[in-house]
Amino acid sequence: MRSTATTLERTRARFGLTPKRLAADTAYGTGKFLDWLVGQEIEPHIPVWDKGSRDDGTFGCSDFTFDPDLDQYTCPAGKILRQFRRNYTVARTDSAHDGIRKYRASQKDCQTCELKAQCCPNMASRNMLRSVHEEARDQARQLAGTPQFVTSRNERKKVEMLFTHLKTTLRFERMRLRGLSGASDEFHLAAMVQNLRRMARLTAAAAA
């Protein structure tokens, strides 16, 4: 996150540019990073890093509906999952631990539920974990697959292909010069070689 903030700040200072969207791969799709980006008013064109999906056929996160006003989930059987099911002497308002909130279904509801085998076959009742950054994650999910997202993804791939080409075809796998100016010179030379190769290919194609 810090390196992205530095890059954005430098781009702003040097070119006067403030991006409206940012494209990156799933490694950047964490709740914390997406939340930070949304806070900067930059659209996250980034696939969400989702560990909530299940591959055993039981209901996943998308089968439950979250109501932000009531701060509760509704399960596929129409029952409510809340953070707190007991009446505490001092009312509790947030169960967040390490950035995750836990919403619990009632054992009474789950044990008599016809959908239990599809929902929580090995547990007395169903729990749902929700990141404190879930709203930003939802925003990123809604953007995924939109025409703007697809354009960003294609543009990102074009840039990343150049780095892949440098590493795999031109064998530019590590810097040989040290220091910022050494790295800058070496990288510019590598980019020049790459552009010359491209020019030669395009010129040959045009002449053919």
- Which residues are near ligand SF4 by CB under 6 A? 75-77, 79, 105, 109-110, 113, 115-116, 119-120, 125-126
CB 183 within 8 A of CB 175: yes
Instruction: Please state the closest distance from residue 71 (CB atom) to ligand SF4, in A.
Output: 17
Tell me the C-alpha distance between 162 and 133, whole Å: 33
* Burial class of residue 131 in the structure, from the number of CB atoms within 10 Å of its CB (0-12 exposed, 13-18 middle, 19+ buried): buried
Instruction: Please state the closest distance from residue 123 (CB atom) to ligand SF4, in A.
Output: 9
Instruction: Please state the closest distance from residue 65 (CB atom) to ligand SF4, in A.
Output: 11
Which residue type does 12 have? R
Which CB sits closer to ligand SF4, 16 or 78? Answer: 78
Which CB sits closer to ligand SF4, 107 or 184? Answer: 107
- Cβ neighbors of 49 (< 8 A, separation 6 or more) are 26, 27, 29, 30, 31
Which CB sits closer to ligand SF4, 21 or 79? Answer: 79
Instruction: Please state the closest distance from residue 72 (CB atom) to ligand SF4, in A.
Output: 12
